[in-house]
Structure 1
Amino acid sequence: MKKLLLGTVLLTATAGMAAAQDVVRIGTEGAYPPYNFINDANEVDGYDIDVANEVCARAELTCEWVTNDWDSIIPNLVSGNYDAIAAGMSITDERDEVIDFTQAYYPPDPSAYAGLDEIDVTSAVVAAQAATIQATHVAESGATLVEFATPDESVAAVRNGEADAVLADKGFLVPIVEEDPDLVFIGEDVMLGKGIGIGLRESDTELKEKMDAALASMKEDGKMAELLEKWFPGMDPDF
């Protein structure tokens, strides 16, 4: 559940409501497994995609997927290049000032540090994906922040010696650390964000109502728990 930092970019709302359109276009990054990624069939896949597709089916919406670089994913929503975001995006107060969110479809997830050795991360060089609140946390911690365009590049920076550690969503890092005997988790987890929601333009109230109703029904009938178990085995479905 990646956490996007909006920064100082001024965004302007566009007219019209996505819910009134024939097709609802959903933006995702496609580079953050298991939340979203491009599979062997060259199609978007992952937890975000399964959740949003089920939402569209229950809300009787015709939905299409669009991939977009992370650092411009909110500006492109606001400018009308698509109508919603399902990209492991955490709900934050700062982001909520510019766009709206559905209810959460994934609980608040810890971020974690990983590196080659146990170190004091507050005085280390720490990598993070640019435009995330992990990056903001590192900068505010006293560590030296180095930013990269993708999460994979931030992990590679640790492996090649550019950084002492990486801070990212723990759900993203767990399979990487498990598969790499040289990497270990460092210190305590860090709680950031308020859970993952679908991002929408502030003006799209009808679309938000439809998606919220679909998400609520998924939680009530067990579909959300089923998808959580598929992508995050052992995850507590009660949130």
Structure 2
Amino acid sequence: MKKLILGTAALALSAGMALSGSHSVVRLGTEGAYEPWNFVNDAGEIDGFERELGDELCKRAELTCEWVKNDWDSIIPNLVSGNYDAIIAGMSITDEREEVIDFTQGYTPPDPSAYVALDTDVDLEGGVIAAQATTIQAGFVAEQGWDLLEFATPEEAVAAVRNGEADAVLADQSFLDTVMEGGDLVMLERKEALGGGVGMGFRESDDELRGKFDAAIDSMKADGSLNELIAKWQVSSQF
């Protein structure tokens, strides 16, 4: 689905400092700010598609897991430095990220990226396009040479359209569906196919742990429960 974080030499160096080996408790890092993938509910708990998916994967892998909320812009550095053991946060599998961390197979196919604006008469190439920073959407806009306005959170990117700072916002369609209820925004017909599906991220030293989650994903694909979960939360197309 969404996001693009660039690998750096500092991350690569700190990877060797992260703890690996056996995990009595597996800590799952997520953003908690990207409905319906992951968000904080009224009880203050991590909720959404990935909460339900992660709990089921841990059950099938016979692992004890706990959830850690982390801001998006530091989610890969804090995995590498050992603050948690896996990322499950709507993170698209990209070549750049795989220079720094390893991924499981995708637990969803790529989610279409869509544009939302105040009206359909928007000149994307000549306008200002908002996107969450360090995402595949921001990377795409920059690659086109368009005028990009980046924000720390997806909500801020949408707000930029509402207040006139930007002409349109580019994000995962599943997320944008959740902000259309007010009726003031419209979704453009144009869509972008970005990323290679969404997977869990792991330190490169944690092959064994990654393998356990890969096997659990396989089992959910085989019995149809993964497609049922995707349909329930409407996060992407099914396998």
Decide: shared fold, TM above 0.5: yes
Where does residue 223 of structure 2 map in the other structure? Answer: 221
Secondary structure of 1:126's partner? strand
**Cα distance between partner residues in 1 of 2:189 and 2:145:** 16
The CA deviation string for residues 156-184 of structure 1, in whole angstroms up to 9 with x for no partner, is 0000011111010111002322x132211
Larger deviation: 116-125 or 58-67? 116-125
The CA deviation string for residues 180-230 of structure 1, in whole angstroms up to 9 with x for no partner, is 322112241001101100000011010011101001001111210221121
Residue type at the aligned position of 2:145: G
Residue type at the aligned position of 2:165: E
Residue type at the aligned position of 2:172: D
Larger deviation: 161-170 or 180-189? 180-189
Question: How do 1:22-61 and structure 2 match up within 5 A?
Answer: 22-61=24-63
Are the counterparts in 2 of residues 139 and 145 from structure 1 also a CA contact under 8 Å? yes
- 1:156 has 2:159 as partner: yes
- 1:109 has 2:146 as partner: no
**Cα distance between partner residues in 1 of 2:10 and 2:138:** 20
Unpaired segments ≥5 residues, structure 2: none
**Cα distance between partner residues in 2 of 1:98 and 1:172:** 26
Distance 1:7 1:59, change over 3 A: closer
Residue type at the aligned position of 2:147: T
Where does residue 133 of structure 2 map in the other structure? Answer: 130
Secondary structure of 2:106's partner? coil
Secondary structure of 1:55's partner? helix
- 1:194 has 2:178 as partner: no
Secondary structure of 2:125's partner? helix
Are the counterparts in 2 of residues 85 and 198 from structure 1 also a CA contact under 8 Å? yes
Residue 25 of structure 1 and its aligned partner are, at CA, apart by 0.4
Unpaired segments ≥5 residues, structure 1: none
Residue 7 of structure 1 and its aligned partner are, at CA, apart by 5.6
**Cα distance between partner residues in 1 of 2:81 and 2:19:** 11
**Cα distance between partner residues in 2 of 1:229 and 1:9:** 39
Secondary structure of 1:174's partner? helix
**Cα distance between partner residues in 2 of 1:35 and 1:204:** 24
Residue type at the aligned position of 1:122: E
The CA deviation string for residues 110-149 of structure 1, in whole angstroms up to 9 with x for no partner, is 1111101221201101111111121111122232111111
Secondary structure of 1:10's partner? helix
- 1:139 has 2:142 as partner: yes
* Aligned alpha-carbon RMSD (Å): 1.5
**Cα distance between partner residues in 2 of 1:214 and 1:7:** 28
Residue 98 of structure 1 and its aligned partner are, at CA, apart by 0.4
Where does residue 3 of structure 2 map in the other structure? Answer: 3
Distance 1:29 1:236, change over 3 A: closer
Paired positions, count? 235
